Chains A and B, each alone.
Chain A
Amino acid sequence: MTRHCHDVRLRGTRALLVIASTLAAVAVTPSAGMAQDPRIGLRTGFQDAGEAIRNLELVSHTPKQNGWFNPQQLGDFGFANSDLAFQKNLVFQGGWHGWQAWDISNPKAPTLRKAFVCQGGQGDLSVHGRLLFMSVEDLAGRVDCGTQGVADTVSAERFRGVRIFDISDIDNPKQVAAVQTCRGSHTHTLVTDPKDRSTVYVYVQGTGPVRSSNELAGCNRAVDDANTSYFRIEVIKVPLAAPQNAEIVNMPRIFADAQGNVAGLWKGGAHGDGTQNTGRTDQCHDITAYPEIGLAAGACSGNGILLDIKDPANPRRIDEVIDPNFAYWHSATFNNAGTTVLFTDEWGGGTAPRCRSTDKPTWGANALFTLGADHKLKQVGYYKLPAAQTDAENCVAHNGSLIPVPGRDIMAQAWYQGGMSIFDFSDPSRPVEIAYFDRGPIAEQLTLAGYWSTYWYNGYIIGSEIGRGLDIFALKPSEFLSANEIEAAKLVKYDEVNPQLQTKIVWPAAFPVARAYVDQLARKDALSDSRIAAINKSLDAAEKASGSTRKGALTLLASQLATDATKSSDAPRVRALIDVVRALSK
């Protein structure tokens, strides 16, 4: 969630608006001739809300543990769950109350491996080897993780910034460093350096009030001062062998203009008649890094920006965009090829209902940009949750990640109480929903809940439910996604995933990957039915064979496919298939 979105920001706050309960029952009239979307009109409830699901299976729902919610006040901010990070069999779930580590070795029955109380804001997490990183933003954050808050207005006990825990003994996490920053850390982004594996960087996105220079030297609240603590991010350098030496090495002025004015981007305000009011660009809400292509995409309040991060300690802005439909640039996701960037707009800050039938489909949505070789972003499309939600449900675009289906760009995305929407944005000008899950409102009156994030991790989709707990989903085959495509996605395995640190997805040379491409060619009518059948037959025969027989069959298939490529309406996909077949033949 965001904090400084101007009229509608966030976080939490506006969400708890008292909304006339009569409005909560507003139904959306389906268009003539179409069946009503099953997501409309779901029953309200805490753990017994109505559910609508399509092309997915809910593998498990794990409610919040005692002590991690307030039964007297379901929307209590102090217990909201937030973002996720993954390592081996563990899901790390951040939140206002602290972090929890869930063992999902059995996805049908996750178990709580560790619950660690440590308050200080939304508590975004990243994990890298034995280190766990945690964002702390609020004034109540304490160096010692104590829950009593900080009594003094200026205090050495206060902590706002990024904590680093050593979790090599997860039963006894040790805070090995705590790097203080002027605006705290609303979110952060782990950035690896492909040229130096001994060091990682943490980009700190601070959006909170600037603290007193008496508490942290150098902090400067004056917006117009050249040394203002606004209009920057902080870069923390973490030597992995000595994380206790983590320190800020740069505070880059990534919004500066050519004249060196640090406030060089969007000044705040509307873009003309009928446009959105967009927050001033004095902060990034979130940055997604993709070190293998040397780029990061920043969602920075009033702008989307592109950063060159080839030197991770010195990110350099190389492009920026505005969008008159965006209120608050919130987060970013690259497609795997790095040719599309999806930015989210957290209009209303995540606590307001912004998916009603009366809300514009281009407001509070995703905006899709193509990213050319010239490193220029170009807006080509929008995607918004296609099922209208009620006034009782906080809903707007939020966090998600790619589902690694070869040959396609597919994302699972959280929409707070709008549920999860899975969509294909291979053609960024025409994204299409292919699966979803939604629950009814948590309460009759708008009460903070819903998915903070939904991320693919090693064959499953994990959802962090702000008010209800942790959900795990599996994909089901459908007209939009074949069993082979799902199998191919499941072949992609990681030991560690931090969704804001994207890594290049590489598929193994495997039969499901080849068949996924064949299914896609069939779906797009890019080859004749008879050729599709023949190719599948060849693949089946090759898979059953071994040794030189298999090699010969695959080599023959590859040469036949080369001819197919010349006739297909989707030659690049046929060539991708050829590459897999050739690799399989080796």
Chain B
Amino acid sequence: MSVNAQSTSGTPGSVASRKHTAADVAFMQGMIGHHAQALEMVALVPARSSRVEMESLAERIAVSQKDEIGIMQRWLTAHGEAGDTKQAMSHDMHAAHTAMPGMLSPAQMDSLRNVEGTTFDRLFLQYMIQHHEGALVMVAELLRSPGAAQEPMVFQIMSDVDADQRAEIRRMKALLAQLP
């Protein structure tokens, strides 16, 4: 194939970043709330599980999702879309987000809080797999949205979420299979 590519020297007028879309903003805002619930779930692990692998899984999810929440908040602020992301992280707002794919219902959260030991481990893994698969659905939805994920940071976050959560789902399925 032979294509004459555009050949433009950089000009001061071209410094604006590529435009983001409403779907990008919705993805970033939604993912903050989605991650926030994952943090709430992993906070239950230390008191309820006695498995080292569960603790290390929980720590890993906590670190990566806290990092990403910070990046997404910063991106929203830099793009004038900060809105109510603080509220998105508050517990009261979770109800508004249960519509997002994979989110645990209040009843599911309660049932997770009320078990321990291997019963907790099994339920936690099942729920976190459900939760992560929801995040993959959110990524797929974003990718189906015209013009989305083209702003470089949104692309990064989307790629990161997709890769991390796919890998974690595999690991969690393996852990689940090992439970007595």
Residues of chain A touching chain B, judged by Cβ–Cβ distance below 8 Å, are 3-4, 6-18, 65-73, 76-79, 96-98, 114-119, 121, 138-140, 143-147, 149-153, 163, 165, 172-178, 207-209, 223, 244, 267-270, 273, 277, 279-280, 352
Contact = CB atoms under 8 A, between A and B. Distances in A.
B14 A67 contact: yes
B162 A209 contact: yes
Given A18-B70, A96-B152, A139-B149, 6 more contacts: A7-B164, A77-B153, A78-B152, A121-B152, A140-B151, A173-B7
Contacts of A151: 146-147
B163 interface: yes
Interface in B32-60: 52, 56, 60
A326 to B, nearest CB: 15
A268 B63 CA distance: 16
A13 B166 contact: no
A537 B150 CA distance: 66
A155 to B, nearest CB: 9
A3 B166 CA distance: 14
Contacts of B179: none
Contact of A77 (B3, B14, B15, B152): B152
A67 B3 contact: no
5 contacts: A12-B156, A67-B14, A117-B9, A140-B18, A149-B150
A73 B145 contact: no
Contacts of A67: 9-15
B150 A138 contact: yes
Contacts of A78: 17-18, 151-152
B14 A153 contact: no
Most A CB within 10 A of own CB, among B11, B56, B73, B155? B155
A77 B156 contact: yes
Interface of A is mostly: loop
B158 interface: yes
Interface string B139-175: 1000111111111110111111011101110110010
Contacts of A178: 1, 3
A176 B143 CA distance: 29
A116 B60 CA distance: 41
Nearest to B139: A209
A96 B153 CA distance: 11
Interface string B86-109: 000000000000000000000000
Interface residues of B, number: 59
Given A115-B9, A116-B8, A117-B10, A153 B143 contact: yes
B14 A209 contact: no
Contacts, number: 184
B67 interface: yes
Given A67-B11, A140-B18, A147-B14, A6 B167 contact: yes
B177 interface: no
B150 A14 contact: no
B80 to A, nearest CB: 11
Nearest to B63: A7
Given A116-B7, A153-B146, A270-B56, A138 B71 contact: no
B104 to A, nearest CB: 22
A268 B167 contact: yes
B67 A279 contact: no
Given A175-B5, A280-B167, A66 B159 contact: no
A575 B78 CA distance: 62
Contact of B1 (A68, A177, A223): A177
A174 B5 contact: yes
B2 interface: yes
Nearest to A349: B160
B10 A66 contact: yes
Contacts of A17: 67, 70-71, 74
Contacts of A139: 143, 149-150, 155
B73 A18 contact: yes
B10 A150 contact: no
B71 A268 contact: no
Interface in B12-38: 12-19
Given A67-B15, A119-B18, A140 B144 contact: no
Contacts of B170: 223, 267-268, 280
Contacts of A280: 167, 170
Nearest to B70: A17
Given A18-B73, A178-B1, A7 B10 contact: no
B68 interface: yes
B114 interface: no
Most B CB within 10 A of own CB, among A69, A78, A177, A279? A78
A115 B71 contact: no
B6 interface: yes
Given A14-B67, A268-B171, A66 B5 contact: no
B165 to A, nearest CB: 10
Contacts of A172: 7
Contacts of A140: 18, 150-152, 155
B78 A18 contact: no
Given A16-B74, A17-B70, A70 B17 contact: yes
A267 to B, nearest CB: 7
B5 to A, nearest CB: 4
Contacts of B67: 8, 13-14, 17, 352
Nearest to B158: A209
A138 B152 contact: yes
B2 A244 contact: yes
A164 B74 CA distance: 36
B111 interface: no
B58 to A, nearest CB: 12
B77 to A, nearest CB: 9
A3 B15 contact: no
B35 to A, nearest CB: 13
Contacts of B162: 209
A143 B4 CA distance: 9
B6 A223 contact: no
B79 to A, nearest CB: 9
A26 B109 CA distance: 39
A163 B75 CA distance: 30
A117 B74 contact: no
A384 to B, nearest CB: 20
Most B CB within 10 A of own CB, among A7, A115, A163, A165? A7
B126 interface: no
A178 B5 CA distance: 11
A8 B163 CA distance: 11
Contacts of B68: 13-14
A115 B167 CA distance: 39
B118 interface: no
A571 to B, nearest CB: 50
Nearest to A9: B160
The 3 closest A-B pairs by CB, nearest first: A67-B10, A140-B150, A145-B5
Nearest to A98: B10
